Amino acid sequence: MNTPRTPAETRPPRMERLARLPVFFALSGKRTVLAGGTAPAAWKAELLSAAGAQVDVFASEASDEMLALASDPPGGPVVLHRRAWTGEDFPGAAIAVGAFAHDDEASRFAAAARAAGVPVNVIDNSAFCDFSFGSIVNRSPLVIGISTDGAAPVFAQAIRAKLEALIPFGFARWAEAARRWRETIKSSALPSAARLQFWQMFTATALREPNREPQQNDYDRLITETHDNGADTKPGTGSVTLVGAGPGDPELLTLRAVRALQSADVILIDDLVAPAILDFARREAKKMMVGKTGFAPSCRQDEINSLMVSLAKAGRRVVRLKGGDPMIFGRAGEEIAACRKARIPVEVVPGISAAQGAASRLGVSLTHRNLARRIQYVTAHGADGKLPSDIDWASLADPVTTTVVYMPKRALAELSATAQARGLSPDTPAVAVVAATRPDQEVIAGTIADIATRLEAAAPERPVLIMIGRALAQAVKDQRRREAPPTSTPDPQLRSPASTASSPPR
């Protein structure tokens, strides 16, 4: 039996070290100082002007680019002062930028700016910079800055090119509409849950139709839908969303799962959920471990149900985060029933199952039309912790069935022996996949006759999935090839049909 365990809050991992803190200066209507009249200086002046700043340029000589910019700035005025900068130019400036050929000039400029309390950037000279200009993706008011801390500017530019291709230019119009409507929504009588729902529906519309101009009737429709969904009439009632986290690779999360994680107030987390998944969660959300682990301390299911319902009744948006797909051996039925009994709105966001993830990494079709007619999922872990007594052994022994066994560790030897006794051929291919789709994924290949022994020898601590059937034959061969020493003689059984044919006479 499982050892009792109490649901406990878990703290999110600390932010990893940042080479630079990404911040965005509000420069509209503010004065900035720029020393130098070169073409690179003109580009920085253009950025500052585009952000609405008044740019005071101090340069004895000005390039054609700087002269053109001063006559036709994109935003704030660019004022050209035909002299060198002095210490008197810094007070009251928001930021200072300099372009210098020599370090001594750069050093004096940086020191003067800092003495006046002004953040400074010296172009292409990080030793004198308090901040840096990254590569920019401009869908203003949506703006994305990319920095490599000066280590690889070309790499940053390549990432920018990727983002430029991915992000429609029409997002600028939707971001502008959000800015127009935000104050109206904020000053409305809508409770916070309804406002969040409005913005979620707004975002879904923008993602679906990014290249059209948002209209007033879009706002009216979203407000109507918010009222119709009841988010504004039940301020005391929260909700529960069962979210499938997938087998481990965070890139396998669905967009809907990410949206649920980013809007949650509380996240109840299974032990099988990969830590990297929580990087997608709202940082302000309270995170609680409610793990159920076979033969280890586990939270009781009735405790989890009670916690989930009580949090939702208190008005919280609760996400119950489960490894794989919540509807496959995830006790979702019990949790849904508990929510419905308490009249708590409950939704399910499916996830990539562990079987799907493992098969994808192996490159195996579990329903290969020449090898399998059906697929079945079974559990080797019953309510009492033992092999279930009601397994359909005839179906497991069916040679045209692919069987995926969840929670197999403790009962695999018994399952293997019983399956063979009930007619499953001992040479049926079997593969154990440990930590499927994660960076430390491990594959153990064999047959139904020896897979339990192989798994016991490996003694993995991480989640394990067993796949059995003829569809796994090629995966077993591939794994044995990878494991074979480079100098060993190939196993005749692993040769291709062409290699086993008789050689023609010479």
Q: Which of 151-155, 302-306, 361-365, 459-463 is the least confident region?
A: 151-155
For the chain, counts of helices (H) and of strands (E): 16, 20
For 65, 128, 216, 224, the CA distances from 213, given in Å and listed in that order, are 34, 44, 10, 20
> Residue 381 contacts by C-beta under 8 Å, 6 or more apart in sequence?
294, 387, 388, 406, 407, 408, 410, 411
Least confident of 38-47, 123-132, 271-280: 271-280
Q: pLDDT tens digit string along 88-129? A: 999 999 999 999 999 999 999 999 999 999 999 999 898 999
262 confidence band (pLDDT: 50, 70, 90): confident
* pLDDT for res 499: 38
Q: Return the pLDDT at 456.
A: 93
| Distance between CA atoms of residues 320 and 471, nearest Å | 34
Q: Rounded to whole angstroms, how far apart are CA atoms 355 and 466? A: 9
Average pLDDT over residues 390-406: 94
- pLDDT average, residue stretch 428-438: 95
Confidence of residue 488 (pLDDT cuts 50, 70, 90): low
How would residue 167 be classed by pLDDT, with cut points 50, 70 and 90? confident
Would you state the pLDDT for residue 230? 61
At residue 160, φ and ψ (nearest 5 deg) are -60, -45
Is it the case that residue 492 has pLDDT exceeding 60? no
Q: Residue 186 is which amino acid?
A: K
Q: Which range, of 179-183, 402-406, 453-457, 485-489, averages the lowest pLDDT?
A: 485-489
For 339-391, what is each residue's pLDDT tens digit? 999 999 899 999 999 999 999 999 999 999 999 999 999 999 887 778 998 99
Distance CA 477, CA 427 (A): 13
Residue indicated by tokens 């594959």: 443
Smallest CA-to-CA distance from 313 within 281, 338, 278 is with 338
Mean pLDDT of 217-240: 76
User: 29: closest CA among 88, 89, 83, 92?
Assistant: 92
Q: How far is CA 456 from the centre of its chain?
A: 33
In this predicted structure, the answer to whether residue 505 has a pLDDT above a threshold of 60 is: no
Beta bridge partners of 467: 404, 431
pLDDT tens track for 449-463: 999 999 999 999 888
Instruction: Give the pLDDT of residue 320.
Output: 95
| Type and span of the H or E element at 298 | strand 298-299
SS3 322: strand
Q: How many CA atoms lie within 13 A of 303 on its CB side?
A: 14
Region class of 324: left (phi > 0), else alpha (psi between -120 and 50), else beta: left
Cis peptide before 141 (omega within 30 of 0): yes
In terms of pLDDT, which residue wins out, 122 or 289? 122
What is each CA distance from 202 to 279, 445, 474, in whole angstroms?
Answer: 24, 49, 48
**Of 166-175, 283-292, 466-475, the least confident:** 283-292
Which residues, other chains included, contact 84 with Cβ-Cβ below 8 Å and sequence gap of 6+?
35, 58, 59, 60
Q: Could you please report the per-residue DSSP string of 266-281?
A: EEEE-TTS-GGGGGGS
Percentage, residues of the chain above pLDDT 70: 91
What would the mean pLDDT of 399-410 be, rounded to a whole number? 93
Rg (CA), the chain: 31
Report pTM.
Answer: 0.64
Please, are residues 288 and 266 in contact by the beta-carbon 8 Å criterion?
yes
- Distance from first CA to last CA of the chain, Å, rounded? 69
Please give the positions annotated as active site: 270, 292
Residue closest to 212 by CA, chosen among 182, 176, 174, 175: 174
Q: What is the pLDDT of residues 3-20, one digit of tens each?
A: 666 777 777 667 778 888
